[in-house]
Amino acid sequence: MITEEIVHINGIPKKLIVLLHGYQDSAEYIDRKTVRLHELDNVAIHIPQSPFVNEIDKNQRQWFSIHQFDPNDKRRSTTSWDEVIDLYNRMTVGLAEADYYILQYVDTLLNEYSLGYDDLILCGFSQGAMCALYSGLMCPHKIAGVISFSGILAAKGYIEKHGKSKPDCLIMHAKDDDKIKFGALDFTKKNLLDLGCKVDVVELENQGHRVSSEAVEVAYHFIKSKIK
């Protein structure tokens, strides 16, 4: 179970925002980078700490193992996009396990605030973005939105067959990202559109693989548009 979290509540929550940290990362990092979101009125922002210790750095966390599916980090070095997609598709089992924990956590929070799935916005950075996209698409009810900071639609084949929902999505990626290839942006956009999602896309200049203030500002306005 997810037992550690950072929480910010402003007003009477009409929307629940759940922010998922990345691989070899922590809730503290994404909290520091998204302070702008604390200014939103009538929201509850929850930043869960994954219960899984990172396989590289025991002081950090992960939502699932990367090296189990790509032990040599070929997704970063290969020039074959087909091979990149195949490697991310292998992560389906890891994403499904993370989804089990994330949706239990979300269900508890929605009940706590007397909110519905249509009041939920899932956000994530890097591996957390993969989880947010997977959970948003696999959720049995349509949620208000998904925000991906430097992520990719992993487990595409499984989602195409078993996906249950079509949330509105905001996807952002830096052109010089050295962790998840920039081509992930067009790949994710195309497949989300094919799945029937409404998709907003932002290309970031000179940002690298991180949660930038520019990206957070875009996310701020996306979330604000969802708060009536």
Q: At what angle do helices 127-138 and 92-113 cross, to 10 degrees?
A: 70
Whether the predicted pLDDT of 228 surpasses 80: no
Read off the pLDDT band of 43 (50, 70, 90).
very high
Which ranges of the chain would DSSP assign to H, the alpha helix? 27-33, 74-77, 81-89, 92-113, 127-138, 156-162, 183-195, 213-226
Closest CA to 122 of 50, 89, 160, 170: 170
pLDDT of residue 202: 97
Closest CA to 173 of 103, 137, 108, 126: 126
Closest CA to 27 of 57, 61, 3, 54: 61
Residue 156 DSSP label: H
The dihedral region occupied by 89, where left means phi > 0, alpha psi between -120 and 50, and beta the remainder, is alpha
Instruction: Classify domain 4-226 by CATH architecture.
Output: 3-Layer(aba) Sandwich (3.40)
Q: For residues 135-150, give the mean pLDDT.
A: 97
pLDDT of residue 11: 94
220 neighbors 37 (Cβ within 8 angstroms): yes
Q: Which amino acid is at 51?
A: P
pLDDT of residue 82: 94
For 197-226, what is each residue's pLDDT tens digit? Answer: 999 999 999 889 999 999 999 999 999 999
Count CA atoms within 13 Å of residue 185 on its CB side.
18
Q: For residues 37-64, give the mean pLDDT.
A: 97
Question: How far apart are alpha carbons 108 and 39 in whole angstroms?
Answer: 24
**Can you give the residue ranges of every domain in the chain?**
4-226
What percent of the chain lies above the pLDDT cut of 70? 100
For 168-203, what is each residue's pLDDT tens digit? Answer: 999 999 999 999 999 999 999 999 999 999 999 999
Closest CA to 220 of 12, 43, 46: 43
For 5-20, what is each residue's pLDDT tens digit? Answer: 999 999 999 999 999 9
Tokens of 44: 């509850």
For 57-114, what is each residue's pLDDT tens digit? Answer: 999 999 999 999 999 999 999 999 999 999 999 999 999 999 999 999 999 999 999 9
pLDDT of residue 61: 98
Read off the pLDDT band of 136 (50, 70, 90).
very high
Q: How far is CA 19 from CA 67, 82, 123, 187, in A?
A: 23, 30, 5, 23
Single pTM value for the model: 0.97
pLDDT of residue 227: 87
Which backbone phi and psi does 59 adopt, to 5 degrees?
A: -90, -5
